[in-house]
Amino acid sequence: MAKFIEFPNQQTKATTRFCFYRINNGPGAILSENKNLTVRNRPIEVIKIDKNTNIMELSQQCDITYIDELSENDILSTWTDTTSLNMVLVGDSIKFLEGGGIASLVQEGSKIRLYINRRQIAQHNFTVLSRLLAVSKFHPN
């Protein structure tokens, strides 16, 4: 997904920064264990973040922030701010998108589908490339 998103000041960044509330399991653990992964020839940096971190601070620290279903109620409710962000907020449920999330990886049977909240991507400081939009579903439609 990160390969098809253009972040602000991307050319000057040394790494692509993925932030997680939990890195001992799930996607955070997988990325943490694979030290040689890159996005556009830049290494991936995995950052463990605290639930109390302000969304504007996260937007400066992270390119993609993953919020799992266990954390989304606690976190999204405090992020009702309409300020444009430099990061993509990714969850794992449709409910996450309804709460203001930008993208969600939703398990449908044996597949994982990418859903995008089209209203949200238009409000932020990054660009989602058409190649990613072409393989995504949208919610709300």
Q: What is the pLDDT of residues 79-129, one digit of tens each?
A: 555 567 889 989 999 988 888 889 999 999 999 999 999 988 888 889 999
- Looking at residue 37, which CATH number applies to its domain? 3.40.50
The residues that bridge with 111 in the sheet, in sequence order, are 108
Number of domains forming the structure of the chain: 1
Mean pLDDT of the chain: 88
Give the chain's end-to-end CA distance (angstroms, integer). 20
Residue 77 has pLDDT above 90, yes or no: no
What φ, ψ does residue 127 adopt, rounded to 5°?
-120, 125
User: 15 falls in which pLDDT band (50, 70, 90)?
Assistant: very high
Percent of the chain at pLDDT exceeding 90: 51
Compute CA distances 6 → 3, 9, 62, 72, 131, whole Å: 8, 9, 13, 25, 12
- For residues 76 and 34, the model is more confident at 34
Residue 76 has pLDDT above 60, yes or no: yes
> Looking at residue 115, what is its pLDDT?
96
| For residues 23-47, average pLDDT | 91
Q: What is the pLDDT of residues 127-139, one digit of tens each?
A: 999 999 999 999 9
Provide the residue type at 141 as one letter. Answer: N
Q: What is the domain extent for residue 54?
A: 2-138
Range with top average pLDDT, 38-42, 71-75, 121-125: 38-42
> Looking at residue 81, what is its pLDDT?
56
Instruction: Mention every residue, 6+ apart, whose C-beta is less than 8 A from residue 113.
Output: 105, 106, 107, 137
Give the side-chain half-sphere CA count within 13 A for 71. 19
